[in-house]
């Protein structure tokens, strides 16, 4: 068989081939994690499912979070598997799995709950493909690029990763307005192109470490993290007379299972010869501090997207005359400054980090990120757009300044034969952080709405003719329904009040109650109350992340000197030194 010229390209050319492949893979995977958010109203209409029915809230949550859950659970295992059998092999398979799942999602033959289950199931399979792409892309880049160019390469990749999440919002708005199935079809040509291009052009030039698969570690990690994320999903849903489900037996038992199995996982990983989650990497100060700064920033950033979508779709756009049907598309368009800020700052910061290190850039980025939340706290719910655009652009700049330098610094700090596992850990932290963020931020917002929304809704409804007994029932329905209505761009009052005759109001009063401005005007003050709680939490998390980033030490590439993570970690290193296949640690210096 003749040799394929692209696959055997000169290293100087090959590194750009690797960059285009991994950027396409990561971009496609992340676009699909967000494209569905903006398309949910059209998807629910397409399969004839009422998203406001309480029993359907679970479908909505699993469509949003199932993909992220699977990605978070599998990326470490698949990254470590890439270290063993080949990163390119796993990466190529990821394109294929992703493409097949996209086709089957678009061909959903069912309606109602069955149609929703089909979508959830194939989104999970799609998440497996996304995990394969996520877990190995950073390691393939580090294998292909020299040390002095990795920050730039990571910057481009990170722009694709996080910028893609906002491109997905716009694409979802455009495509779902035509046909909801296009939301899934759009991935197919890119998946086919990526599958062929990566198979023809990528070569596995990383360091292989033949070893056994850590089955017990994989099993306990998968069960533990899945149980934790299941608890988060169902903790957001109402339970009995409670506005959330954190006291339900399912959530409490899931949290207990998560605690037991994750404890067992860490115990196993400290004792097996070839762990899937190499805890010894956390002895490296640059890896330890950068990883936790990334996790905390992911928690701070993940919920932002959802809060901004709710703010725009449910309140600001209807108040400014946009129909509820048009709000998904325009929400994506009005969030463009956030994307642009990240697209500008990411590559530039990555390039600068190649020359000056990551600590100053990443730490400053998280401080700017925190300040943007402070600014958003200061603007009213019905804001002037130029100020809002400036603040979200600043948020994007801060995120870009942090992400690319931090990712490059973390990957530079690990041994060559551990890069797949290290990349998996970073991807797991990012995706777990986003799922945790949704759980935390949605819960905080629901707490704020539960206290402030009922009296506001009761006053608003009775002032427009709805009888007090009926208004009281509607006002005290779980706040999560109003929150998801805003998220989906729905006015729920038409469903809750049924008709003018049932609501005992005149035609004129009905027109006001179900019009563009009444519900957004009703919810804006309670929503702002919840938003204050959410953004104050985001500020605190961002500043904690900045502290971790500042403590990473000077620029460090594995093989050179690095200070230890502290006396306790140094003692752990002495106790566990000499493990086969692990770097020796002497006095906090990785040799």
pLDDT in tens, 348-368: 887 888 777 888 899 999 999
Provide the CA 512 distance to its chain's centre, in angstroms.
Answer: 37
pLDDT in tens, 189-199: 888 888 898 88
pLDDT in tens, 464-488: 888 888 888 888 877 777 777 766 6
In percent, how much of the chain has pLDDT > 90? Answer: 19
Give the Cα separation of 476 and 463 in Å (integer): 17
pLDDT in tens, 372-389: 999 998 999 899 999 999
Which is nearest to 368 in space by CA: 347, 349, 383? Answer: 349
* Homologous superfamily of the 13-214+272-449+528-558 domain (CATH): MFS general substrate transporter like domains (1.20.1250.20)
Element containing residue 586 per DSSP (H, E): strand 585-586
Give the Cα separation of 300 and 315 in Å (integer): 22
Give the Cα separation of 428 and 229 in Å (integer): 13
Element containing residue 467 per DSSP (H, E): none
Task: Locate 24 and state its tokens.
Answer: 């396409």
Identify the weakest region by mean pLDDT among 148-152, 167-171, 266-270, 484-488.
484-488
Q: With 80 as the cut, is the pLDDT of residue 202 above it? A: yes
**C-alpha distances in angstroms, 313 versus 335, 443, 490, 516, 522?**
11, 19, 9, 11, 14
Beta strand extents in 28-167 (DSSP E only)? none
Which is nearest to 414 in space by CA: 152, 80, 33? Answer: 80
Give the Cα separation of 25 and 129 in Å (integer): 10
Tell whether the torsion through CA atoms of 495, 499, 502 and 508 is positive or negative: positive
Give the Cα separation of 532 and 527 in Å (integer): 9
pLDDT in tens, 18-44: 888 888 888 888 787 778 877 887 888
Q: Where are the domains of the chain?
A: 13-214+272-449+528-558, 215-271, 559-591
pTM of the model: 0.77
DSSP 2: P
Cα atoms in the Cβ-side hemisphere of radius 13 Å centred on 362: 38
Give the Cα separation of 312 and 330 in Å (integer): 8
pLDDT in tens, 68-113: 788 878 887 787 788 778 888 899 999 899 999 999 999 999 998 8
């Amino acid at each position: 068989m003749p040799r394929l010229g692209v696959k055997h390209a000169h290293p100087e050319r090959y590194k750009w081939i690797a960059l285009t492949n991994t950027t396409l893979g990561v971009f496609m995977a992340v676009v699909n994690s967000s494209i569905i958010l903006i398309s949910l109203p059209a998807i629910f209409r397409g399969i004839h499912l009422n998203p406001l029915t309480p029993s359907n809230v679970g479908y909505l949550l699993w469509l949003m979070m199932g993909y992220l859950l699977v990605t978070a659970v599998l990326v470490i295992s698949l990254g470590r598997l890439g270290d063993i059998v080949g990163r390119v092999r796993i990466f190529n398979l990821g394109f294929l799995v992703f493409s097949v799942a996209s086709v089957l999602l678009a061909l959903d033959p069912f309606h109602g709950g069955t149609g929703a289950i089909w979508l959830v199931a194939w989104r999970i399979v799609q998440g497996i493909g996304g995990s394969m792409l996520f877990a190995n892309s950073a390691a393939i880049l580090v294998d292909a690029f020299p040390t002095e160019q990795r920050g730039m390469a990571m910057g481009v990749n990170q722009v694709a990763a996080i910028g893609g999440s906002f491109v997905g919002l716009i694409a979802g708005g455009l495509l779902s307005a035509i046909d909801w199935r296009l939301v899934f079809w759009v991935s197919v040509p890119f998946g086919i192109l990526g599958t062929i291009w990566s198979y023809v052009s990528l070569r596995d030039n990383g360091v292989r470490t033949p070893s056994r698969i850590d089955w017990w570690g994989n099993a306990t990690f998968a069960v533990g993290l899945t149980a934790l994320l299941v608890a988060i999903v169902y903790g957001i849903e109402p339970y009995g007379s409670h506005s959330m489900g954190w006291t339900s037996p399912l959530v409490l038992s899931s949290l207990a299972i998560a605690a037991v199995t994750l404890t067992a996982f860490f115990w196993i990983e400290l004792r097996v010869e070839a762990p899937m989650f190499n805890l010894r990497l956390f002895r490296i100060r640059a890896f330890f501090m950068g990883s936790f700064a990334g996790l905390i920033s992911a928690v701070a950033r993940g919920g932002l997207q959802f809060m901004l979508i709710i703010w725009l779709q449910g309140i600001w756009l209807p108040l400014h005359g946009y129909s509820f049907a048009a709000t998904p598309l325009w929400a994506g368009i009005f969030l463009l400054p956030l994307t642009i800020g990240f697209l500008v700052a990411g590559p530039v910061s990555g390039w600068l980090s190649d020359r000056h290190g990551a600590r100053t850039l990443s730490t400053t980025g998280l401080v700017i990120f925190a300040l943007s939340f402070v600014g958003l706290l200061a603007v009213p719910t019905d804001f002037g757009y130029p100020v809002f655009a400036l603040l979200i652009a600043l948020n994007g700049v801060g995120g870009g300044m942090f992400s690319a330098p931090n990712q490059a610094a973390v990957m530079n700090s690990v041994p060559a034969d551990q890069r797949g596992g290290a990349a998996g850990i970073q991807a797991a932290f990012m995706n777990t952080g986003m799922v945790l963020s949704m759980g935390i931020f949605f819960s905080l917002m629901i707490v704020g709405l539960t206290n402030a929304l009922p009296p506001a809704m009761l006053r608003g409804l009775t002032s427009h003719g709805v009888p007090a007994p009926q208004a009281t029932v509607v006002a005290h329905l779980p706040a999560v329904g109003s929150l998801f209505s805003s998220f989906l761009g729905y006015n729920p009052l038409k469903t809750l009040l049924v008709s003018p005759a049932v609501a005992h109001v005149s035609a004129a009063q009905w027109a006001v109650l179900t019009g563009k401005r009444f519900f957004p005007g009703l919810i804006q003050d309670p929503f702002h109350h919840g938003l204050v709680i959410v953004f104050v939490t985001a500020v605190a998390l961002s500043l904690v992340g900045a502290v971790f980033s500042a403590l990473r030490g000077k620029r460090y590439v594995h093989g050179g000197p690095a200070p230890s993570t502290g006396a306790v970690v140094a003692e752990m290193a002495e106790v566990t030194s000499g493990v086969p296949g692990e770097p020796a640690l002497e006095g906090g210096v990785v040799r």
